[in-house]
Amino acid sequence: MNKKVIFILFVLVFTFAVSPNVNAQCSMCTINAEQGVKNGNTQTAGLNTGVLYLLSIPYLMAVIVGVVWYKKYRKKNIHLNMKKEPFNLN
């Protein structure tokens, strides 16, 4: 169990540490950000990062809910106590 946790943490850290430079903006946001940078506006420099954070939060929440649901509702070693007599379904 401990090795699994360490492996998952390593994968997560490696995934977020080594990320490619991506552009996740609509065309209007891209044009506004480019014009703002050309005009010397420094506020638009973090626009791409903000859009990526907004994009990733719903997926992260879905993964967390899925993991919690899986851990809570999975069943281990269930013994079915069934009678050995045949029964009719009609």
As a residue count, the chain comes to 90
* pLDDT 10s digits, 34-87: 777 777 776 666 776 777 788 899 999 999 999 998 888 776 666 667 667 766
Whether this prediction's pTM lies above 0.75 is answered by: no
Q: How far apart are CA 45 and CA 28, in angstroms?
A: 15
pLDDT of residue 63: 94
User: Given this model, what pLDDT does residue 66 score?
Assistant: 92
Q: What is the pLDDT of residues 11-48, one digit of tens each?
A: 888 877 776 666 655 777 777 777 777 777 766 667 76
